[in-house]
Structure formats: structure tokens, C-alpha cells
Chains A and B, each alone.
Chain A
Amino acid sequence: MIFLQNAIDAISLGAVYALAALGIGLIFSIMRLINFAHGELIMIGGFTLYGLAGQPYLVMALAAVLAVAVMALGMERIAFRPLRNANPATLLVASFAVSYLVQHVILMIFGSRPMGIDFLPELGGSLEFGGLRLPKLQLIAIVATIALMTSLALFFRYARTGIEMRAAAEDFTMARLVGVRANRVIAVAFVISGVLASVVSLYLVAQTGTVSYKMGVNLVLMAFVASVIGGMGSLVGAALGGFLVGMLSASLQAYLPVDLRAYRDAFVFLAFISFLLWRPQGLLVSHADQERV
């Protein structure tokens, strides 16, 4: 029973990491940008909820999704589009710059202390199933992740824009040569990435009841680790890596001796390093890293 309980914790944390990793992986697959500012997208979602505290929850949630999507588009337009042909290292540094800039603007406005906010406190409760305690929020996180991933999978499989994005992820120049509009597919990628980030915000705020200017940082680091484990550029890999990292982290939390639990992340990163020594290319290798036109 305890095991099942822990498994559900592990899966739900994995689901949240998977969403964040997908957001990062999607942008990377299309434009070779590792967007560390993804965490600030999550944070902006949190602060949108904070700003609208007291409104109906649905309004707060929709506003957060919208705000983060717009923020993601803005980042692309202002910071990343001018660097589109720059090498990945330049893009990475630019994403750090955006990340710190957004963090510190929020820090200047709201200060550094986490601020409490009521968002869907009802979800703090649990459902009882024959001795099994199922926290509602975690169930919703799992269901929402599965729903989002299924719709994304269908989008990439059947929608024309989805197919264009897969083509662009594999060979960007060739995709443009068949007429795929670069600005459009990149914008769509950022919007999707923003929507994924905003869902993570909703979960984080509902779970912790607080927002702070650094709320996205740790999560994005884990999500980055997850997407590397999955294989940079592979979306299925990013999702898979997210689940693995989340489950490992939650299991360590559950099974490490109490004295060591504070160092859980150290064990996660130790496992990460060992993994990289074994399989530096990640679990799934993307088709993209071939010679380009």
C-alpha cells in the first residue's frame, strides 16, 4: 500500500517534470535553443495568478495560460529571433540573460519573499480508495499531463502545422525550402511551450500556495536534466526523461534514510552523471542531428 502511495507521488511529480521538459525539448528540437528562461515563463504564470487572486479560478487559470503564451512569444520576438542564426552557445547565453532579466524585474517589483496565494485549495484534499490516499491535485496533474501529451501527439501526427514542425525539427533549412514559414513554426512552438509552462505554474501554485521570483528555477534545471536524459531534440524522450527524473526524485524522497533526504537532489544529479557516462546521447536519439543543407 505504501508502495502504491509512493508510486502515485512519483508519477505525478514525473508528470510535472515531463511537461516542463517537453516545453524545453520542443524549442530545442526546432531551433537548437536550450531555453533556460522557461522557468521564468512558469514564474510569470504564477505571478499572473497572484495578480488576479480573488477572481474566479477559471479566470485566473485562463489568464495565466494567456499571459505565459504572450510572454513566450515576446521572448522569441525580442530576444531570440535576432539570434536565430547564431550558434547554440550564443542562444543558451541569451536565454540565461532573459531568465535573469525577468527574475530581477519581478524581484524589483515584488521583493524576494515568497507570497501566499489561494488557488484551488480544494485540491489539497484526497480521495480515499480502500486505504489508499489519492491527493486530488496529483491525480489531476497526471490526468492533465496525459491529456496534454495525447493532444500534442495528435497535433504532431495529423495537423499540417504539426507535420511542418516535425519537418522543421529534423531539417530546418529544408523545411523552409519546401515553403514552411520559419517565423510561424517557431512562434507556434513558443506558444505551445508557453502553454505547457503555464500548466506547470497552475500545478505549482495550487500545490505550494506561494509564488516567488525563483519558483521556476529548480524545476527548469530538473526539466533540462530530463530532456538530456531523454535525448535532446526528441519530444518523446523529453517526456520520458521527465517521468524518469520525477519518479527517481520522488522515490528518493520516500526511500532515502531520513537523514539523507535533505540531499535528495545530490543523489538525483549523481544518478544523472552516471547516466551520462553510460549513454551521453540520451535514451532516444533525434533524427535531426544530421548534416544540414
Chain B
Amino acid sequence: MLEVKELHVRYGNITALHGISLNVAKGEVVAVIGPNGAGKSTLLLTIAGVVSARQGDIMFDGASIRGMAPETLAARGIVLVPEGRHIFGSLTVAENIGLGATTRRDRNQVPADIERVLDMFPVLRERYRQRAGKLSGGEQQMLAIARALLARPRLLLLDEPSLGLAPLIVRQVYEVIFELRRQGMTILIVEQSVHRAVAAADRTYVLNSGLVVMSGRSAVLHGTAAFDAAYFGIDEPAGGR
């Protein structure tokens, strides 16, 4: 469904990508992990059209989408939940969720979908009329996911969904990700905290310094010494954020 080919990106002060290739099949959950500064966010921002690539190509459903505007890609079903959530803090929870449906043609089905995400995230129902800026970090993350789901994404891009959240909230977020996986959603998830992402994913890519240094089926990769070495980098001390 998604195929990233030899992607080179250099742009301002973001981490560069030096020829990354990866693919995501329909219905698959793929994790991209790597230390801070490996280029994970850059990868997602490039796929979503926020950052432009210098070389290489991005194919979606067999056609090149490189260089398309974010709103065009959103209309095609590529939906990003960015790092830091980026909910619209001055808008209400209801307005944030409603904006998720901006690209929908089937307007008459939107109210039912709103009900569905509110069932999924009951806390958002409680705060439906409040300003989103007043929500806690965990609630904002749920709102960001709820907003993304309203677009009925064909490919959901999740950037560090657990970043800065309490463990309990992280578990809730991942329960939702597992639920989406059961429903057959195609997801590309980027994480710094390895274990949950790898557990949720069918396959995993390890990124370091703008390169894919390792990839394979999650179950096989996880816990091997080679995986740890790839993740932490050979020369760097382990555990660096």
C-alpha cells in the first residue's frame, strides 16, 4: 500500500534522511523505532507531505505521492497524528473531532463515527464542549487519535503516541492501537519507547542517523542482541535519549 523508496530529505534543522526504503502492506501494522534524532518524525512528516524530499519516491496505492500537499494526502486517506499531538487548543473538543472529518464526502455518516470515537474515548464525551487546550496530555493524545479516526484513514501515521504520557495512559493508547489493528487498519507507528511499539507491530524497522539499519518481523527481531545494538548504535552508550 505504501512504499518508500530511497528517500533523501534535508530540510532546515530537522534530521535528514539518507536513502530510506520501507513498505507497509494493506492491513499491516509497522513500527519504526530508533533513538532521538534518527529521523523517524522526518519520515512521517515527509510521507504526510509536510516536508519535501530531495530524492527518492513515495508510492501510495501504486502511484507516486511525492510532492503532494498535506491536504491532498489527507483527502487520499493518509492521516498523521503528529508528535506533540497538535490539537487545536483554542477550539472545543467537539470542533477538533469535527475537523477530523474535513475531507469526508459521506457527511451523513460522520455523526455515527463521532459517536463511535466517543464510545472509544469516553473521557472525550465528558469534555465534549470544553476547550481542547484544557485537556490533560493523555486526553489530548486521545483527542488527536479520535480526530484522525474521523477521517477514516486508509493509512494512519502515529508519531510517538506514548511520548510524555503516564504509563497508565500509554496502556490505554496502545489498547486503542491494538483495537484498530484488529479492525484491520493499516498503521505506521513511530516510537522511541521500543517494547510497546514492537509488540503492536507485525514488522519493525530500526532507524539510526537517517538510515534503516535493521528490519524484520517484530517477533523475530525483538530481544536479539543485534536488535539492541542496532537500536542503540554500536559506538554510542546505551540508554541515551
Chain A positions within 8 Å of B, measured between CB atoms, are 160, 163-164, 166-167, 170-171, 173-182, 287, 290-291, 293
In the complex, chain A residues whose CB is within 8 Å of the CB of B48: 177
Partner of B69, one of A163, A164, A167, A182: A182
Could you tell me the distance in whole angstroms from the C-beta of B35 to the nearest C-beta in chain A? 21
Q: Residue of B at shortest CB range from A182?
A: B71
Q: In the complex, what distance in Å separates the CA atom of A291 from the CA atom of B13?
A: 14
Q: In the complex, what distance in Å separates the CA atom of A180 from the CA atom of B99?
A: 8
Interface contact A178-B147, CB-CB below 8 Å: yes
Asked whether B34 is an interface residue with its Cβ less than 8 Å from the other chain, the reply is no
Could you tell me the distance in whole angstroms from the C-beta of B100 to the nearest C-beta in chain A? 6
Q: In the complex, what distance in Å separates the CA atom of A54 from the CA atom of B31?
A: 71
Interface contact B91-A170, CB-CB below 8 Å: yes
Partner of A164, one of B75, B80, B84, B99: B99
In the complex, chain A residues whose CB is within 8 Å of the CB of B88: 166-167, 170-171, 174-175
Encoded as 1 (CB less than 8 Å from any A CB) or 0, chain B from 60 to 91 comes to 00000000011100110001101010101111
Could you tell me the distance in whole angstroms from the C-beta of A291 to the nearest C-beta in chain B? 7
In the complex, chain A residues whose CB is within 8 Å of the CB of B74: 176-179
Interface contact B102-A178, CB-CB below 8 Å: yes
Interface contact A180-B86, CB-CB below 8 Å: no
Q: In the complex, what distance in Å separates the CA atom of A170 from the CA atom of B95?
A: 13
Interface contact A291-B71, CB-CB below 8 Å: no
Q: How many residues of B sit at the interface, in one of the four size bands?
A: 20 to 34
Interface contact B84-A173, CB-CB below 8 Å: no
Interface contact A179-B91, CB-CB below 8 Å: no
Q: Residue of B at shortest CB range from A173?
A: B50
Q: In the complex, what distance in Å separates the CA atom of A290 from the CA atom of B98?
A: 22
Q: Residue of B at shortest CB range from A290?
A: B89
Q: In the complex, what distance in Å separates the CA atom of A177 from the CA atom of B151?
A: 11
Q: In the complex, what distance in Å separates the CA atom of A179 from the CA atom of B104?
A: 9
Q: In the complex, what distance in Å separates the CA atom of A179 from the CA atom of B48?
A: 11
Interface contact A287-B133, CB-CB below 8 Å: yes
Asked whether B45 is an interface residue with its Cβ less than 8 Å from the other chain, the reply is yes
Q: In the complex, what distance in Å separates the CA atom of A285 from the CA atom of B124?
A: 26
A-B contact pairs, 9 of them (CB 8 A): A160-B102, A166-B95, A175-B99, A176-B74, A177-B79, A178-B100, A178-B102, A290-B89, A293-B84
Chain B positions within 8 Å of A, measured between CB atoms, are 45, 48, 50, 69-71, 74-75, 79-80, 82, 84, 86, 88-91, 95, 98-100, 102-103, 133, 147, 151
Q: Residue of A at shortest CB range from B83?
A: A293
Q: In the complex, what distance in Å separates the CA atom of A267 from the CA atom of B44?
A: 53
Known: A178-B99, A180-B102. A170 touches B89 (CB 8 A): yes
In the complex, chain A residues whose CB is within 8 Å of the CB of B71: 176-177, 179-182
In the complex, chain B residues whose CB is within 8 Å of the CB of A293: 45, 50, 82, 84, 86
Partner of B151, one of A163, A176, A178: A178
Q: In the complex, what distance in Å separates the CA atom of A293 from the CA atom of B46?
A: 12
Q: In the complex, what distance in Å separates the CA atom of A163 from the CA atom of B79?
A: 19
Interface contact B80-A177, CB-CB below 8 Å: yes
Known: A176-B71, A178-B151. A164 touches B90 (CB 8 A): no
In the complex, chain B residues whose CB is within 8 Å of the CB of A160: 98, 102
Interface contact B91-A167, CB-CB below 8 Å: yes
8 nearest A-B residue pairs (beta carbon): A179-B103, A179-B74, A287-B90, A179-B102, A176-B70, A174-B86, A176-B71, A167-B88
In the complex, chain B residues whose CB is within 8 Å of the CB of A170: 88-91
Q: In the complex, what distance in Å separates the CA atom of A178 from the CA atom of B98?
A: 10
Known: A174-B82, A177-B74, A178-B147. A164 touches B89 (CB 8 A): no
Q: In the complex, what distance in Å separates the CA atom of A167 from the CA atom of B69?
A: 17
In the complex, chain B residues whose CB is within 8 Å of the CB of A180: 71, 99, 102
Q: Residue of A at shortest CB range from B89?
A: A287
Q: In the complex, what distance in Å separates the CA atom of A154 from the CA atom of B79?
A: 29
Could you tell me the distance in whole angstroms from the C-beta of B42 to the nearest C-beta in chain A? 12
* Besides A167-B99, A174-B86, A178-B74, 13 other A-B contacts (C-beta < 8 A): A163-B99, A164-B102, A166-B91, A166-B95, A167-B95, A175-B99, A176-B70, A176-B71, A177-B48, A178-B147, A179-B75, A179-B151, A287-B89
In the complex, chain A residues whose CB is within 8 Å of the CB of B133: 287
Could you tell me the distance in whole angstroms from the C-beta of B5 to the nearest C-beta in chain A? 23
Q: In the complex, what distance in Å separates the CA atom of A178 from the CA atom of B72?
A: 10
Interface contact B99-A177, CB-CB below 8 Å: no
Interface contact A291-B84, CB-CB below 8 Å: yes
Could you tell me the distance in whole angstroms from the C-beta of A234 to the nearest C-beta in chain B? 10
Interface contact B102-A166, CB-CB below 8 Å: no
Partner of A163, one of B70, B82, B89, B98: B98
Partner of B70, one of A164, A167, A173, A287: A173
Q: Residue of A at shortest CB range from B84?
A: A291
Could you tell me the distance in whole angstroms from the C-beta of A169 to the nearest C-beta in chain B? 8
